[in-house]
Amino acid sequence: MDPADSVAIGKAARSRVPRSRHGEWAPSSTRTDPVAILLRQATTRQPDLVPLRHTRMLASPFAFYRGGAAIMAEDLAQTPTTGIEVQCCGDAHLANFGGFESPERRMVFDINDFDETLPGPWEWDVKRLAASLVIAARDREFGHAVARQLVVAAMRQYREAMREFATMRNLDVWYARLDLDGILRRWGSVVSKSGLAAMQRGLDRARAKDNLRGLAKLTERVDGEVRIRNDPPLVERFDNFLSSGDADQFEEMTRRWLAGYSRTLEASRRHFLAGYRVVDVARKVVGVGSVGTRCWIALLLGRDDGDPLFLQVKEAEQSVLESHVHKSKVVNHGERVVQGQHLMQAVSDIFLGWDRGDGFDGVARDFYVRQLWDGKLSANLATIDVALLQVYAQMCGWTLARAHARSGDRIAIGAYLGSGASFDNAIVEFAVTYADQNQRDYDAALDASRTGKLAVC
């Protein structure tokens, strides 16, 4: 499309949906009970883990928000949009951003969770990020003014980055990434010495969180063989789920899974994977919102016991966005996740792939596969100070803009946003109002747990 046409689309959208309208939020009279949404999700999850999911969500309003993507998706469907679509993350709260080692072994910052990814309105990701900042600030008792400042910082960065991407060549947008050097270049001057020290400690921990660390932390020797250590209910070895404990059954199921998954990898990576053999599999509980979905970890060994590879095999269900936009064009939800991740992330795990199989429990489901640990870095939101959280908010805003610019009409979005702060200020109002809604939903879920309507442990 000609850039002038995209600019015209963006400016015309201002007439249909004035930027100030994005500040609106009020629950509709037909809004679904949030507890009912959680109970509906529980019907497709492993029954023994559902109480754990609810317990984790009820730890705080922020934890509840993290697990409540389906609740917010229904609410976002009632809000105004420009009609300009991008590849949405679908769950772009601030804890779903972080660092990880690229295939070139450089630490990069990016979105790191794509379970809900699907094409949809770009505004939905922006609003989910903004509300998460207010809720996180309240969780830390930073005060009303700080919460608003965080959203302003993130939204200004999103808007300015999108307008910058709109002026760039397509390849330059595709290659744009936020690595450690870029973080220090953009924000190093405003981070305190203690903040920089905290960042360095986090980087050091992340770089140590590799497959060898996984070997030391997650395994033990059983009859001289390396095996995943049982730690129920968080980690339970595969043979606990076999009816007979038959080694031949294990061999056949893992062979079938590995063959199906490896076919989705590039030929060079499939060749590399062939140098490993599966020695153990376990069910592992991960995250907050994902608890109860089928998630397995597989331990593979290469040339010897000191050459491990941990893969995470995670169930992919229908995106929470799908009921509110359109059906996924990709039939396999594992493939949907992988395609969305490749489109939105600057660089991705070399072992990222998918499968449709029995998931080691005899029932056909969709899965995606990635490395369990690969230098992953997450912000410690329980200890982060205000100054560093403000930088983190800007990092998230820039990263989300880059992801949207790769997949949507960045020129139209940039033209819609404009050079002023109208959109930024509107999103602040939405974020504050929606944080209030999240608090009410959290309180309702707490009440439901006390009456036994919502199972907890």
Alpha carbons 284 and 298: distance in angstroms, whole number: 10
Cβ neighbors of 223 (< 8 A, separation 6 or more) are: none
pLDDT, tens digit, for every residue of 25-35? Answer: 999 999 999 99
Provide the token pair at 318: 């229908």
Cβ neighbors of 307 (< 8 A, separation 6 or more) are: 301
Alpha carbons 169 and 167: distance in angstroms, whole number: 7
Dihedral over alpha carbons 387, 100, 339, 238 (to 10 degrees): -120
The residue with tokens 């295939």 is 103
Provide the token pair at 282: 């376990």
**Helix or strand (DSSP H, E) at 110:** strand 107-111
- Please compute the mean of the pLDDT values over residues 313-334 and round it to a whole number: 92
The percentage of the chain sitting over the pLDDT mark of 70, rounded to a whole number, equals 91
The Cβ of residue 272 has, within 10 Å, a number of other Cβ atoms equal to: 16
The residue with tokens 């930024």 is 424
In order, the DSSP letters of 153-167 are HHHHHHHHHHHHHHT
- Please compute the mean of the pLDDT values over residues 270-295 and round it to a whole number: 88
Using the Cα atoms of residue 184, residue 393, residue 121 and residue 414 in order, give the sign of their dihedral.
Answer: negative
DSSP label at residue 381: T
The band of 373, judged by pLDDT with boundaries at 50, 70 and 90, is: confident
pLDDT, tens digit, for every residue of 234-243? Answer: 898 877 666 5
The Cβ of residue 240 has, within 10 Å, a number of other Cβ atoms equal to: 11
- Please compute the mean of the pLDDT values over residues 43-71 and round it to a whole number: 95
**Cβ contact 319:125 at 8 Å:** no
Alpha carbons 322 and 396: distance in angstroms, whole number: 24
Instruction: Name residue 437's amino acid.
Output: Q
Q: Does residue 394 sit in helix, strand or coil?
A: helix
Angle at 301 between CA 295 and CA 302, to 5 degrees: 135
Alpha carbons 258 and 256: distance in angstroms, whole number: 6
What is the predicted pLDDT for the residue at 196?
A: 66
What is the predicted pLDDT for the residue at 218?
A: 86
Mean pLDDT of the chain: 90
Alpha carbons 23 and 131: distance in angstroms, whole number: 12
What is the predicted pLDDT for the residue at 13?
A: 96
In order, the DSSP letters of 5-57 are HHHHHHHHHHHHS-GGGGG-----TTPPPHHHHHHHHHTTS-GGGHHHHHHHH
- Please compute the mean of the pLDDT values over residues 129-151 and round it to a whole number: 96
What is the predicted pLDDT for the residue at 245?
A: 53
Angle at 67 between CA 319 and CA 331, to 5 degrees: 15
| Maximum Cα interatomic distance, the chain, rounded to a whole number of Å | 71
Q: Is the pLDDT of residue 446 over 90?
A: yes
Using the Cα atoms of residue 354, residue 210, residue 92 and residue 48 in order, give the sign of their dihedral.
Answer: positive
- Please compute the mean of the pLDDT values over residues 403-424 and round it to a whole number: 97
**Cβ contact 360:343 at 8 Å:** no
The residue with tokens 């922020």 is 62
Alpha carbons 415 and 9: distance in angstroms, whole number: 8
Tell me the domain boundaries of the chain. Answer: 3-207+380-451, 211-371
Backbone Cα Rg of the chain:
22
246, burial (CB in 10 Å: exposed 0-12, middle 13-18, buried 19+)? exposed
Q: What are phi and psi of 168, to 5 degrees?
A: -95, 155
Provide the token pair at 37: 């949404």
Q: Does residue 185 sit in helix, strand or coil?
A: helix
What is the predicted pLDDT for the residue at 100?
A: 82
* Residue (of 303, 291, 263, 217) closest to 68 by Cα position: 291
What is the predicted pLDDT for the residue at 359?
A: 52
DSSP label at residue 377: B
Dihedral over alpha carbons 386, 388, 391, 393 (to 10 degrees): -60
Q: Which of 131-145, 252-266, 346-360, 436-450 is predicted least confidently?
A: 346-360
pLDDT, tens digit, for every residue of 92-125? Answer: 999 999 888 777 777 789 999 999 999 999 999 9
CA distances for 92 relative to 118, 125, 244, 258, 313, angstroms = 12, 5, 42, 31, 22
What is the predicted pLDDT for the residue at 356?
A: 86
The residue with tokens 């989705």 is 264
Q: What are phi and psi of 371, to 5 degrees?
A: -65, 145
